[in-house]
Structure 1
Amino acid sequence: MTRLLLASASPARRATLAAAGIDALVVSSEVDEEAVLAAARARFGTLEPADAVLVLAQAKAQWVVEDQVESDGDDLLYLGCDSMLELDGEIFGKPADAAQATARWRTMRGATGVLHTGHWLIDDRDPAAGGTGGTLGATSSTIVHFADLSDAEIDAYVATGEPLAVAGAFTIDGLGGAFVTGIEGDHHGVVGISLPLLRGLLADVGVAISDLWR
């Protein structure tokens, strides 16, 4: 049986896959993100945000592959994902603490940013089962328009703890959805995994997304 293994502990990513009929295995990677990005910059120079998330997605997928996860006989496709918000030339991952989340929201309110989500797929299926050994990736980039929040709204939102757990300090599928006035692009990419992009990556290794429906 061919199964998708998600190299991420994100509940939103897993829920998105489940809603799309994909019962993914989940293993959280233990990648040192700062070290991975530093090594990439040393090799390639300054990274564009869309490239930075792709580098991290690849590192996460590769880490899980190399950790030799027990597959219980399944043929596995490994998927790593990473998201960052680009705003006024800066990129933001998860805020370090409530104070940083508050400061970010005071910059984000009334503004427009781009949420980048990198995806990296590794085909580790047995060749006898159609495995290609392919390793490939792409980035989903979606424009996000933020509401002009009051200080009280920012304080209340940060107090929930939700902004501290997600890239860019906001969600579109949770409490933060009330503070996003519109998007241009794939809303799944803002949640953390683009289903149309995943479909394309799967097709490149000869797998139809319907093959993963359970």
Structure 2
Amino acid sequence: MPRIVLASQSPSRLAILRSAGVEPVVRPAHVDERAIEAAHTDPRETVQALAVAKAAAISPDFPDDVVIGCDSLLLIDGHLQGKPHTPEATVDRWHQQAGRSAELLTGHCITFRGESFVDTGATRIDFAAASDNDIEAYTRTGEPLECAGAFTLEALGGWFIDRIEGDPSSVIGLSLPLVRRALYSFGLDVSDFWGRDAGGADAGIDRRDALF
């Protein structure tokens, strides 16, 4: 059986797969994200191009495995926002988006034996009108600095998200429904990957337990 290879160093994406019963091979892809973003103007094309580049960088090393490349960007006021990286940029970003709505786009490129499945998950985010003190405190934790849109849904950032419309796993960084559709398009079943270690062997986990 093929393995699932995650072309990302994102702890959130890894956590999604693990919570869904999959222990992937983790092989972060290193691509020139700024150059790819500069080459595209359409938001969906941009996140898909980033995902395609990441999967393409890794898939030659894993020709018989399922390789997942992802990238997320926040679309607000017609502009894509990535990771803020610095505390100053994080505070500015939160003052811009607090109390407003935006769309998180997560591009996916999933490859298997020469085939590719490319799609984008889109989810509306309603941000809370967070207080200045909370914005400063959240920034000091360091959590939002390396997150697209300067927030998380599954950790401290969850305090400041009032509502989402769409796939929650896509907001965290990887859409399980989209990956499921990709696997089906390759003639694979999701359950084939439950309870198997990164080496492809059965890890001795009951597949019923893999759900929890």
Give the TM-score taking structure 2 as reference length.
0.89
Does residue 166 of structure 2 align to residue 172 of structure 1? no
Deviation, 1:37, is 2.7
Amino acid at match of 1:24: P
Q: Which residue in the other structure is 1:59 paired with?
A: 53
- Residue type of the alignment partner of 2:58: V
- Specify the alignment match of 1:26 in structure 2: 26
CA contact (8 A) 1:50 1:141 kept: no
- Contiguous gaps of at least 5 residues in structure 1: 125-132
Which residue does the alignment assign to 2:14? 14
Alignment of 1:97-116 (within 5 A): 97-116=86-105
CA offset at residue 50 of structure 1? 1.9
Separation of aligned partners in 2, 1:195 and 1:136: 14
* Identical columns (%): 44
Aligned to 2:80: 91
CA deviations 1:150-204 (Å, max 9, x no partner) are 1111000001001101100000001100000110000000000010111001111
**Cα distance, 1:65 vs structure 2:** 2.0
CA contact (8 A) 1:113 1:144 kept: yes
Gaps of 5+ in 2: 196-212
Cα deviation 1:20-60 (Å, max 9, x = unaligned): 1111111111101012233x43xxxx22x222111100100
Matching of residues 193-204 of structure 1 within 5 Å: 193-204=174-185
Matched, 1:119 2:119: no
Distance 1:178 1:108 in 2: 14
For the residues of structure 1 that align with 2:186 and 2:165, how far apart are their CA atoms? Answer: 28
User: Secondary structure, in 3 states, of the residue corresponding to 2:85?
Assistant: coil
Partner SS state of residue 182, structure 2: helix
Secondary structure of residue in 1 paired with 2:3: strand
Q: Distance in 1 between matches of 2:37 and 2:80?
A: 13
Aligned residue in 1 for 2:125 = 144
Instruction: Measure, in 1, the Cα distance between the counterparts of 2:59 and 2:33.
Output: 17
Distance 1:76 1:102 in 2: 41
Q: Give 2:80's aligned amino acid.
A: I
The reply on whether 1:156 has 2:137 as its aligned counterpart is yes
- The ranges of structure 1 where at least 4 consecutive aligned residues each deviate by more than 6 angstroms after the TM superposition are none
Equivalent pair of 2:8/2:29 in contact (CA under 8 Å):
yes
Tell me how far apart the structure 2 counterparts of residues 202 and 37 of structure 1 sit (CA, whole Å): 28
Cα RMSD (Å) of the superposition? 1.3
The amino acid across from 1:59 in the alignment is A
Contact 1:83 1:117 in 2 (8 A): yes
